[in-house]
Amino acid sequence: MDYNCTVITLFVSSHIFNVALLYSQTRKAGIILRGHEVVLSLPLWVESFLCNSEKVFPSIEERMRLVIMLSRLNVEHKTGGPFGAGIFEQKSGRLIAVGVNQVEPANCSIAHAEILAITFAQHAIGHYDLGAKKETAYELVTSTEPCVMCLGAICWSGVTSVVCGARDEDAREIGFDEGPKPKDWICSLESRGIKVVHDVMREHAKTVLTDYPKKGGLIYNSRRQQT
Ligand SMILES: [Zn+2]
Q: How far is the CA of 12 from the centre of ligand 1 (A)?
A: 23
Q: Which of 179, 126, 190 is nearest to 155 (CA)?
A: 190
Cβ(11)–Cβ(97) under 8 Å? Answer: yes
Residue range 116-120: average pLDDT? Answer: 97
pLDDT band at 144 (very low <50, low <70, confident <90, very high): very high
Q: How far is the CA of 82 from the centre of ligand 1 (A)?
A: 12
How much is the pLDDT for 111? Answer: 95
Kindly report, residue by residue over 145-168, the tens digit of the pLDDT: 999 999 999 999 999 999 999 999
Q: How far is the CA of 19 from the centre of ligand 1 (A)?
A: 26
Q: How far is the CA of 78 from the centre of ligand 1 (A)?
A: 19
Is 114 catalytic? The answer is yes
Q: How far is the CA of 112 from the centre of ligand 1 (A)?
A: 5
Residue range 187-203: average pLDDT? Answer: 97
**The one-letter amino acid at 102:** Q
DSSP state of 133: S
Q: Does position 27 have pLDDT exceeding 60, yes or no? A: no
Which residue among the candidates 76, 89, 104, 114 is catalytic per the annotation? 114
How much is the pLDDT for 37? Answer: 82
How much is the pLDDT for 225? Answer: 52
pLDDT band at 224 (very low <50, low <70, confident <90, very high): low
pLDDT band at 185 (very low <50, low <70, confident <90, very high): very high
Residue range 82-110: average pLDDT? Answer: 96
**Residue 82: CB atoms within 10 Å:** 29
Q: How far is the CA of 147 from the centre of ligand 1 (A)?
A: 4
Burial class (CB in 10 A: 0-12, 13-18, 19+), 12: middle
Residue range 115-135: average pLDDT? Answer: 96
Q: Does position 122 have pLDDT exceeding 70, yes or no? A: yes
How much is the pLDDT for 181? Answer: 94
Percent of the chain with pLDDT over 90: 74
What is d(CA 214, CA 227) in angstroms, rounded to the nearest whole number? 26
Q: How far is the CA of 24 from the centre of ligand 1 (A)?
A: 30
Kindly report, residue by residue over 42-92, the tens digit of the pLDDT: 999 999 999 988 899 999 999 999 999 999 999 999 999 999 999 999 999
How much is the pLDDT for 82? Answer: 98
**Residue 222: CB atoms within 10 Å:** 8
What is d(CA 126, CA 35) in angstroms, rounded to the nearest whole number? 25
pTM for this model (two decimals): 0.86
How much is the pLDDT for 147? Answer: 96
